[in-house]
Homo-oligomer: A and B are copies of this chain.
Amino acid sequence: MISVVILGAGNVATHLYKAFKTTENVNVLQWYNRNIEAISSFKNEVDITDNLSQLAEADVYIVSVSDDAVKGLTKKLPFENRLVVHTSGTVKISDIDKKHHKGVFYPLQSFSKSAKLDFANVPICIEAITSEDYHLLKDMAIAIGSPTKKVNSDQRKVLHLAAVFVNNFTNQLYRVAHEITESEGAEFDLLKPLILETAKKVQDLSPYMAQTGPAKRDDKKTLDKHTKLLTNPHHKDIYDLLTKSIQHTHGRKKL
């Protein structure tokens, strides 16, 4: 049984808490937040606190607070030589105060408080200094059904950056498609199955192999038609840049 104290009450902390609660192998001893109101509804099922000096002794302290707050909060922890991990894609492992055993438990997903999430779909990127800590963090991930991967700080940084491309930027393309369709009274909803299919396709096929369409084929007639349809200059910039990008990838054009 791995004993855990969770610090923070945001999206990630809350999802982790709920996931750990359902497992046999991880015991959440205590939940800390600077603002106790945020976790008060859980007071009957777990020891809650807003007082760092009352933190219980545990195998792992999961510091899941805003990136900027990780460093300061780990410094304020009134103990040493215990395993303290953060959950961030961008914060350095060395931002955890040096008096602790340090680790990272980075869940590579997009969390929002309302949406349910199956941790089977949340790869946990683990970084640790000792093999013992690594295996403890791995067991913690396995307990909630997550796949795990040993990821060093440089790799974690690029994964976080790549996540912005496949999550935030992709979502913005959906948004542009929404604007384009609405402007003609067409229904964005009609695109939803295609959105899903596009994401499913690269589960088995590389994005390179999965590519199709006018840019890849260098189908000038369709590219022209599209350029003329695009009345919003900003949409046009995106169209031009990503068309160029596809053509470069598929050997049609120099950048």
Q: List 15 A-B contacts (CB under 8 A).
A: A108-B191, A121-B196, A149-B187, A157-B229, A158-B183, A158-B184, A161-B229, A162-B181, A163-B191, A164-B215, A165-B173, A168-B214, A168-B216, A171-B207, A175-B208
Contacts of A181 in B (CB 8 A): 155, 158-159, 162
A172 and B109 in contact, given A121-B197, A166-B195, A213-B164 (Cβ under 8 angstroms): no
Report the nearest B residue to A245, measured CB to CB. B172
Cβ-defined partner of A198 (8 Å) among B166, B176, B234: B166
Chain A, residues 181-224, CB within 8 Å of chain B (1/0): the string is 10111111011111111111111001110111111100001100
Q: Are A161 and B108 in contact (CB under 8 A)?
A: no
**In whole angstroms, what is the CA distance A122 to B156 when docked?**
37
Q: Are A122 and B193 in contact (CB under 8 A)?
A: yes
Task: Give the interface of A toward B (CB within 8 A).
Answer: 67-68, 90, 108-110, 112, 115, 117, 121-123, 125, 149, 151, 154-159, 161-178, 180-181, 183-188, 190-203, 206-208, 210-216, 221-222, 225-226, 229-230, 234, 237-239, 241-242, 245-246, 248-249, 255
Q: Are B245 and A110 in contact (CB under 8 A)?
A: no
Q: Are B230 and A193 in contact (CB under 8 A)?
A: no
Report the nearest B residue to A120, measured CB to CB. B193
Cβ-defined partner of A176 (8 Å) among B165, B201, B230: B165
Contacts of A149 in B (CB 8 A): 187, 190
Contacts of A197 in B (CB 8 A): 109-110, 117, 121, 167
Contacts of A115 in B (CB 8 A): 201
**In whole angstroms, what is the CA distance A225 to B67 when docked?**
13
Contacts of A158 in B (CB 8 A): 180-181, 183-184, 186, 229
Contacts of A176 in B (CB 8 A): 162, 165, 245
Q: Are A177 and B162 in contact (CB under 8 A)?
A: yes
Cβ-defined partner of A168 (8 Å) among B112, B162, B215: B215
Report the nearest B residue to A199, measured CB to CB. B199
